[in-house]
Amino acid sequence: MAIDLAKCVGCQACSVACSMENTRVPGENWHKVIFMNEGETGTKKFTWYPRPCQHCTEAPCTKVCPVRATRKRKEDGVVLINWYKCLGCRYCVMACPYGVRCYPEVKPLLEPDIKEVYHGRRAKLWDPPYQLSREEQDGKRGTGIPPKGVVTKCTFCAHRTDRKEMTPDRDPVKDRDFTPACVIACPASARYFGDIDNPESEVSKRVERKGAYRLREELGTKPQVFYVK
Amino acid sequence: MSNLFKVWIGLLALGVLLGLYTTFQIFTIGHGELANTTQLLPWGLQVSTYIYLALTSTGCSFVYCLATLGGVDKLKPIVPRAVLLALLTIIAGFTSLSLEIGRLERLAIEFIVNPNLTSPMWWMGVFYTMYIVVLMIELAAMIFHIEWLMKVGSVAVLITAIAGHSTLGSVFGVLEGRGYGFGALTPIYFLMMAFLGGASLILLVSCLISIFKGSNKEFDEAVTTLRKVFLASVAIAFLATVWRYVVGVWVSDPYYDLFDLGFNKFLKFSLLLGMIVPVLIVVFQKKAGIGLALAPIIVLVVQFIDRNTLIVGIQKIALLQGVWEPRILPYTPAPVEISVVIFVMSIIGIIYSIAEQRGFLEKIKH
Ligand code: SF4
Ligand code: SF4
C-alpha cells in the first residue's frame, strides 16, 4: 500500500470505513490517522499519518508469537492472525512497534458496553446485527467478529482482496468490491493498493517516482506501507 | 499450634479464598473486562508479579546451588527450604500469568502442536516447564534420600534456572520497538537481579524461623553465611541496576523522557531505600531477628515495585503518539489484578508455613 501524505486531509474517513467494514468495538482501532508533529520548535510541521497494519516484511509479531497463531502469508506477504490458535497472551501487541494490534476484550471505552448490548452468541465476543456475511467471516484469517480472548488487527481487508486474483493494482472504482475499505473510502484518493513487487503497479511507480519512506525504518521491520509526499 | 500461627494461616486462607473467587470471576466475566490493562498497555501487574516471582525462584535456586554445588556447607540447613521456596514461587508466578491469558485452555496443546522456535516466549515455556519438573524431582530425591539423584538434580536445577530466567529476560530483550525494555543486556540484567530476590527471601525465612522456633547453632551459622550471600547479591544487583539506567539514559529520544521522569525517584527508591539501607541493616545487625529481617523485607517490597515499574514502564510511552494522544499512558492495577497477587502470595505463604510448622523441612536432610 502507498499513501500520499500530500493528498491526505486527515478526515478520518479511512478509519471510520475500517471500523464499519470490519465491525470493530469502540477503541479497537485497526486503523488510525495520527496527527504527528515533525521538526524542531519554530519549524514545526504537522502531518497526518494514516496508519493501518504495516504488514511488515520482517514482522516482529510473527517472530514472537509462541504458537504461530500470527503468520505471514507467503503468496502476498499479508500478516494474518488465526483466531482458533491465538492464546491471547498479547506478546505480539508488545512486539509490534506501530501499536496496531488490539485486544478487544478490555474494559469498554464507551458505556453502554456495545459487547453487552449485542451480547455474544455462538462463541463470538459480540454479535451485532450489522456484520460481514458468514462466508466473509473467517477466524483463520482474522476477519469478522472474533471469539473471546484473542488479539485482532487490520487484515488489509483480506475478505475483500482475497476474492480476486493478484493484479498489479486494485482500482478503487472498478475493483470496488476487492479493494480494502480504507482505500475506497478516501475522498482525496490518497491511498493506492497494489503489488509492490510488480514494477508496473501504481504503488511501485509512485514509490519509484516520488521517493517513499516507511515508519520507524531504523527497526528493520521493512513495512509494506509506503508513505510518499 | 500457637494462636499467632492460627491467625497467620487464617489470613492466608482468606487470601486464597479471595483468589478463588477472583478466579471464578475471571473465568465467568473475563479478565479483560475486569482488569485495567488496555489496548495500548496490555501487560499489567499480573505479568510483573510473574516476573518478580520467577526472579525470586531463580534466586532461591542459585542460593541452593551455592550450598550443594558451591560447597558452602554452612548453608545446608536452608537447602530443602530453598528448593521448596523455588518451587512454590515459580508455580505461584505461573498462576498469576495464567490468569491473564485470554485462552488458557489452548495453552498446553498449542505449545506442543504449533511451536514457534523464534519466539522467546515459547522457549521460556519449555525451559520453565523443565525447571519445575527438575525442582520436583530434586525435592522428591531429598525426601527419599536418593543421593545420586540429588547431585544430578542440583546441576539440572542450575542449568534450567539459568536457561529459563535468561530466556524470560529475552522475552523483553527482543522488543526492539520499545526502547525502555529492549536490549541484549536484559537477559543478563534479569539473571543478576534474580540472585537478590532469592537471597532476600531465604534470609527473611531464616530470620523468621529463628524468631519463632528459637535459634540453634547450625541455623545461626547458616544465617551468618546468608548475610554474606545477601551482601554479595546486593552488590551484583547494584551494578546491574546502575548500568541498566546508564544505558537507559542513552537510548533514543522519547524514552529518555521516561528515564528523566523516573530518575530522581529511582535514585531515592531503588538504590537508596532498596539497596543501601538494607546493606546498612545487614552490616550492623549480626544476629537473626526482627532487625535483620527488615533488610530482606525492604528489598522484596522495593523489588516488587521495581518489577512493576519496569514492565509497565516499557509500555508507558505511547508508540507513534500523535499530537492529541497522551504521551505517557495511564495505568493503575484494578482490584481483580491485586486480588490475583494476594492469591498467589497466599498460596506460597500457606503451603510453606504449614510445611515449616509440621517440621516437614527439618526431616529432609541434604
Ligand atoms: S505493523 Fe505490527 S502487527 Fe502489523 S505486521 Fe508489523 S509488527 Fe505485525
Ligand atoms: S496474542 Fe495470539 S497472536 Fe499474539 S503472540 Fe499471543 S498467541 Fe500469538
pLDDT > 60? residue B62: yes
**What number is the average pLDDT over the span B95-123?**
95
Q: Among partner residues A68, A91, A99, which is closest to B320 by beta-carbon distance?
A: A99
User: Is B103 close to A150, i.e. CB distance below 8 A?
Assistant: yes
Confirm if A84 and A71 have CB atoms less than 8 A apart: no
Q: What is the pLDDT of residues A125-135, one digit of tens each?
A: 999 999 999 99
Sign of CA dihedral A117, B20, A148, A18: positive
Q: Which residue of B has its CA nearest to A97?
A: B177
- What is the CA(B348)–ligand 2 centre distance, in A? 29
Give the best residue of A107, A148, A153 to mutate against chain B (max B CB count within 10 A).
A107
Does A120 lie at the interface with B, CB-CB under 8 angstroms?
no
More confident position, B246 or B134: B134
Residue nearest atom 2 in ligand 2 by C-alpha distance: A86
Give the pLDDT score at B287.
Answer: 84
- What's the grid cell of residue B162? 539459568
Looking at B104-113, B267-276, B336-345, which range is the least confident one?
B267-276
d(CA B91, nearest CA chain A) in Å: 18
Euclidean distance between CA atoms A215 and A224, whole angstroms: 10
Tally C-beta pairs within 8 A across A and B: 146
The answer to whether the complex's ipTM is over 0.95 is no
Best substitution site from A79, A86, A141, A154 to test ligand 2's pocket, by max atoms within 8 Å of Cβ?
Answer: A86
pLDDT > 60? residue B366: no
Give the pLDDT score at A101.
Answer: 96
Element (H, E) at B221: helix B217-250
Give the pLDDT score at B186.
Answer: 85
Give the pLDDT score at B363.
Answer: 74
More confident position, B257 or B288: B288
- Of B47, B196, B193, whose CA–CA distance to A93 is shortest? B47
A-chain CB neighbours of B37 within 8 Å are: 103, 106
Distance of CA B311 to the CA centre of its chain: 13
Q: Among partner residues B110, B175, B322, which is closest to A87 by beta-carbon distance?
A: B110
Ligand 2: which atom is nearest the Cα of residue A95? Answer: 5
Best substitution site from A71, A81, A148 to test ligand 2's pocket, by max atoms within 8 Å of Cβ?
Answer: A81
User: Is B102 close to A149, i.e. CB distance below 8 A?
Assistant: yes
DSSP B114: S
- B269: helix, coil or strand? helix
- A185: helix, coil or strand? helix
Q: Among partner residues A28, A36, A89, which is closest to B121 by beta-carbon distance?
A: A89
Other Cβ atoms less than 10 A from the Cβ of B40: the count is: 22
- What's the grid cell of residue B176? 526492539
Give the pLDDT score at B182.
Answer: 67
Residue B196 pLDDT level (bands cut at 50, 70, 90):
very high
Residue type, B149: L
pLDDT > 70? residue B251: no
Looking at A37-51, A78-92, B251-265, which range is the least confident one?
B251-265
A-chain CB neighbours of B121 within 8 Å are: 64, 66, 89, 91
Residue type, A10: G
Predicted TM-score (pTM) of this structure? 0.93
Give the pLDDT score at B106.
Answer: 95
Euclidean distance between CA atoms B313 and B307, whole angstroms: 9
Which ligand is in closest contact with the Cα of A90?
2
Residues 6+ apart with CB under 8 A from B233: B59, B195, B196, B198, B199, B200
- A48: helix, coil or strand? strand
Residue B158 pLDDT level (bands cut at 50, 70, 90):
very high
Which residues share a beta bridge with A37?
A: A46
Looking at A39-48, B37-46, B152-161, B352-361, which range is the least confident one?
A39-48
Give the pLDDT score at A9.
Answer: 93
For chain B, the average pLDDT equals 90
Residue B327 pLDDT level (bands cut at 50, 70, 90):
confident
Euclidean distance between CA atoms B283 and B277, whole angstroms: 10
- What's the grid cell of residue B297? 523485607
Give the pLDDT score at A64.
Answer: 97
What Rg value do the Cα atoms of chain A yield, rounded?
17
pLDDT > 70? residue B351: yes
Looking at A36-40, B190-194, B260-264, which range is the least confident one?
B260-264
Give the pLDDT score at B263.
Answer: 65
A-chain CB neighbours of B43 within 8 Å are: 90, 94
- What is the CA(A125)–ligand 1 centre distance, in A? 23
Give the pLDDT score at B362.
Answer: 78
Distance of CA A184 to the CA centre of its chain: 14
Residue B360 pLDDT level (bands cut at 50, 70, 90):
confident
Confirm if B102 and B43 have CB atoms less than 8 A apart: no
Q: Is A81 in the pocket of ligand 2 (CB under 6 A)?
A: yes
pLDDT > 90? residue B220: no
**Percent of chain B having pLDDT more than 90?**
64
Give the best residue of A91, A102, A110 to mutate against chain B (max B CB count within 10 A).
A91
Residue A71 pLDDT level (bands cut at 50, 70, 90):
very high
Best substitution site from A62, A63, A65, A150 to test ligand 2's pocket, by max atoms within 8 Å of Cβ?
Answer: A65
Phi, psi (rounded to 5 degrees) for A192: -130, 130
Q: Is A86 in the pocket of ligand 2 (CB under 6 A)?
A: yes
Give the pLDDT score at B112.
Answer: 96
Ligand 2: which atom is nearest the Cα of residue A61? Answer: 5
Give the pLDDT score at B199.
Answer: 95
Give the pLDDT score at B218.
Answer: 81
Residue B147 pLDDT level (bands cut at 50, 70, 90):
confident
Q: What is the pLDDT of residues A148-166, one digit of tens each?
A: 999 999 999 999 999 998 8
Give the pLDDT score at B183.
Answer: 75
Give the pLDDT score at A209.
Answer: 87
**What number is the average pLDDT over the span B52-78?**
92
**What number is the average pLDDT over the span A36-55?**
81
Confirm if B334 and B36 have CB atoms less than 8 A apart: yes
**Percent of chain B having pLDDT more than 70?**
94
pLDDT > 60? residue B291: yes
Give the pLDDT score at B253.
Answer: 53
Give the pLDDT score at B267.
Answer: 72
- Write the CA distances from B147 to A14, B63, B133, B138, integer angstroms: 69, 19, 18, 10
Does A34 lie at the interface with B, CB-CB under 8 angstroms?
yes
User: Is B38 close to A37, i.e. CB distance below 8 A?
Assistant: no
Give the pLDDT score at A125.
Answer: 93
Ligand 1: which atom is nearest the Cα of residue A70? Answer: 8
**What number is the average pLDDT over the span A74-86?**
96
